Chains A and B, each alone.
Chain A
Amino acid sequence: GPKVLQIPSHQIIDMGQMVTLNCDPVSNHLYFYWYKQILGQQMEFLVNFYNGKVMEKSKLFKDQFSVERPDGSYFTLKIQPTALEDSAVYFCASSLGDKNTLYFGAGTRLSVL
């Protein structure tokens, strides 16, 4: 089936540094999402993105977070600067339409030290 790839699978950085999480969505999909899952907790919605714009974001999507998909390449989540509470698994997803199936990547585990 369609695949969403997330690179890298695990990233370790020092608090205060910048990090960019990369997502290669399904090629013809138009909607892109980031979710955050802290260890032992449920997966929480961060942001969704369509047509070059943020359509919706949650309270977890702090000012230090940004997303973009320049020229149809990777859909990225940038955190600058990182904080300890940003440690989590970040799942990327994409869908063809806004109420279609979400296809998830395997997640990137971010460890902020």
Chain B
Amino acid sequence: GQQVKQSSPSLTVQEGGISILNCDYENDMFDYFAWYKKYPDNSPTLLISVRSNVDKREDGRLTVFLNKSGKHFSLHITASQPEDTAVYLCAAGARNNNAPRFGAGTKLSVKP
């Protein structure tokens, strides 16, 4: 079954606003959480990642929030810009060489 789920296939945000992308997971053993960005006809590239020992990580306009008890993590993008328009994939992985599992993606559109 799908171990990592992104329930919103798309999101539209006005330029300057906050984009909030959500991801739910099933496996209690996941301890690594990441967000990848994918432009059309390009490969996914890593944006930001966290380990399970923190609840939050900031990097510029990006913040990842991790809610372990709720098996949920999110990506917040402040001051959203048209160039943030892309598909965002969440990923989660477990210890012991387990490869990350990916969500289906959320297509973010930032309107000028």
Contacts and interface: CB of A to CB of B under 8 A. Distances in A.
B42 A33 contact: no
Contact of A102 (B46, B51, B97, B105): B46
A4 B42 CA distance: 12
**What does DSSP make chain B's interface, helix, strand, loop or mixed?**
loop
A105 B99 contact: no
B101 A45 contact: yes
A106 B43 CA distance: 5
A104 B43 contact: yes
Nearest to B93: A99
Contacts of A84: none
Contacts of A107: 43
B43 A48 contact: no
B85 interface: no
Interface of A: 1, 4, 31, 33, 35, 41-45, 48, 50, 55-56, 91, 98-99, 101-107
